[in-house]
Every structure is written in structure tokens, then in C-alpha cells.
Amino acid sequence: MQATGYDTRIANASPKISARDKVWKSLTKWLPLFSPIRQKVLSTLPASNWELEEKAVKIARPNNMKLAAYEGVEEYTSREGSYVSPYYHNTRNPSRVKWLNDNEDILTYLNMRMGDEDVAKIIANTKTSPLQFKWLDSCGVATQSLLDYASQPAKTGSVIFVTVYANSHRNTRKFNLPESLRWNYQGNLVKGVREEMEKGGWRCFDVLRYKAKSHSCSWMLQMGFTNSTRVWRELKLI
């Protein structure tokens, strides 16, 4: 689910910092909308940058929020050629391992694709569905399978940010795309993603296009959705 060709320079570039900041502002605006006793789960794909997670851990306990950090490519659990997966690196980095251990009561780090509602229940240690805030920072093509996953139902009041590759159709022909994106991927991307998400009851409150890096030709699209009118009214003002 997360792009396999992950580039650490993208995570630290100013366009990505702005996109991450939008997610953080939305999270801190979202949390006070619900009682501290309501169970919540924040799901992310950190790879090499844990800035959001490190800030979220500090406010998780008083907000009854658990964190679930995922790496999207399960098969990359060890070195393969010159590529070292984020999970392999993070679980062998002494300072990161210490931080993970120090926060193991709040954060679970998993080498698997981002979990569904059943996984969220396990993370929250509850039999009922928790409120979810997801940053599905895939940065891959907006395939039918990705959007099917993103648009699946969640507890009313939940939020999901979805990041997809936003360049032209010629680079996306080999993928299984929604019908609306097959012949004009770049031109129809916002409309197509919105329509697929609406099938699951999600309403868009934010659209952000940004370059992968400041001097790059590769563009990304980050869109924020919620399945609650109340949350939509609050977050669209950010």
C-alpha cells in the first residue's frame, strides 16, 4: 500500500512538511470534538519520518488515543539487494527502538498494510469500533484496490487523509484504475477519488496538491475525508 520506492528526501522536503502539517492541524482540531473517554486510533505510515507520531504520542493518553504505525510492504522484512525497508531500518536503529519501547503502551508498530476496522479494535483493545483518524500516505497510484480500502466504512466521526500519485495517465496505464481515471488520470483525479470515497459515505473537506520535492516534476494529491457532517464543518475551516 505504501510506495516501495520510498525516498527519505521527500519526507523532509518543504512540500511534504506542509502536507504533514495539514494532517497534524486536523488531528488537533478533531480530538476536542469528542469526549476524552471515547476510544480513538491514529493510523499512519511513518517510514523514515516519525514527526507526526512523536507529537501525537504526547497528546495520546489524555485523549484515550492509541497509535498504530504500519509499513505497507510486508515482504520487505530484510535486505533485498541495495534496498533496505523502513521497517528493517527502524527496528535496528537503537534510538528508534528505545522510543518504540518507551511508548509501547500507546503505539504499536506493524510490518503490514494499514489495518481495517477489526485491526483498529485490537489496537484499541475494545469490542466496539473506535473512532479512527488515518493518514493513508500511500503516495502510489490511485488504484481501485487502494480506493476500495480507503473508502471502507468506519465509526461515524472518523477521518482519513489519502495521498496518491498525481502525474499523468501515461505512467499509470498498467494499474487497475477506477473507470473515471482510466483515460484522463491527471485531469479526473480529484473528482474520481472523491466519487470513490463517497461510495463509502466519506465527504471531502480538504484538497492539497504538492510536489514530491521542491524541484521535482512529480506531483502528489492529498485529500481529507470524514464520515460526519459535524466533523466536516469543523475541519473544512482549517
Task: For 92-120, write each residue's pLDDT tens digit.
Answer: 999 999 999 999 999 999 998 899 999 99
Mean pLDDT across 135-159: 95
Q: Could you tell me which residues come within 8 angstroms of residue 172 by beta carbon, excluding any fewer than 6 positions away?
A: 141, 165, 181, 185
The three cell numbers locating residue 33: 470534538
Could you report the per-residue pLDDT of 27-55, keeping only the tens digit for each?
A: 999 999 999 999 999 999 998 899 999 99
Residue with cell 466533523: 231
What does the alpha-carbon distance between residue 28 and residue 166 come to, in Å, rounded to a whole number?
A: 27
**3-state SS assignment for residue 30:** helix
Could you give the CA distance from residue 11 to residue 46 in angstroms, rounded to a whole number? 9
Q: What is the pTM of this model?
A: 0.90
- Percent pLDDT > 90 in the chain is 73
For residue 110, the SS3 value is strand
Cα dihedral 34, 102, 3, 219 in deg (nearest 10): 60
SS3 for 56? helix
pLDDT value, residue 14: 75
Q: Which residue has the cell 482519513?
A: 160
Mean pLDDT of 170-185: 85
- pLDDT, residue 45, reads 94
Contact in structure between 53 and 69 (CB atoms under 8 Å)? yes
pLDDT value, residue 13: 61
With CA atoms as reference, report the closest residue to 172 among 213, 218, 114, 223.
218
Domains of the chain (ranges; CATH) run 8-235 (3.40.50.150)
Mean pLDDT of 151-176: 88
Q: Where residue 4 falls among pLDDT bands split at 50, 70, 90?
A: very low
In terms of DSSP bridges, do strands 219-226 and 107-110 run parallel, antiparallel, or are they unpaired?
unpaired
pLDDT at 59: 98
- CA dist., res. 97 & res. 132, Å (int): 25
Residue 54 in contact with residue 93, Cβ under 8 Å? no
In terms of DSSP bridges, do strands 107-110 and 159-165 run parallel, antiparallel, or are they unpaired? unpaired
The whole-number average pLDDT for the span 129-147 is 95
